[in-house]
């Protein structure tokens, strides 16, 4: 609904209810290209550390690597994002990180 589009829970719900629900996968290991550490997600995983959340199948990932290098007309800037989601204790999928480009670095937080 238009009334909820800015809410994190709605954004996350669209990963499984949207046009391409198979884009989200269970994450077993944080990819090296993703600049996520325990410190980055501290306080977002309820009582879990990132390592514990991964081990308990609470972390999901979307990786739109397929968009990396796609050329757009008129030199429009685009992204090839990677996002992590956490399945919280209320069984709500919540976004915890979004990295806009495929290579981590200071210009790509």
35-77 pLDDT, tens per residue? 999 999 999 999 999 999 999 999 999 998 888 878 777 777 7
3-state secondary structure 46-104: CCCCHHHHHHCCCEEEEECHHHCCCCCHHHCCCCCCEEEEEECCCCCEEEEEEECCCCC
**Chain centroid offset of residue 96 CA:** 7
At 26, is the pLDDT very low, low, confident or very high (cuts 50, 70, 90)?
A: very high
pLDDT at residue 2 tops 70? no
By C-alpha distance, which of 59, 56, 54 is closest to 96? 59
Task: Answer whether residue 80 shows pLDDT above 80.
Answer: yes
- Residue 89's pLDDT is 95
Asked if the model's pLDDT at residue 94 lies above 60, the reply is yes
- Backbone dihedral angles phi then psi of residue 11, each to the nearest 5 degrees: -55, -50
Strand partners, 26: 60
């Amino acid at each position: 609904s238009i009334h909820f589009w800015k809410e994190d829970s709605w954004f996350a719900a669209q990963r499984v209810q949207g046009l391409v629900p198979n884009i989200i996968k269970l994450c077993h290991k944080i990819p090296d290209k993703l600049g996520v550490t325990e410190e980055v997600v501290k306080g977002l995983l309820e009582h879990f550390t990132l390592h514990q959340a991964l081990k308990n199948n609470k972390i999901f990932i979307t990786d739109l690597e397929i968009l990396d290098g796609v050329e757009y007309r008129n030199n429009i800037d685009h992204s090839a994002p990677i996002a992590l989601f956490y399945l919280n204790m209320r069984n709500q999928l919540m976004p915890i990180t979004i990295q806009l480009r495929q290579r981590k670095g200071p210009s790509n937080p």
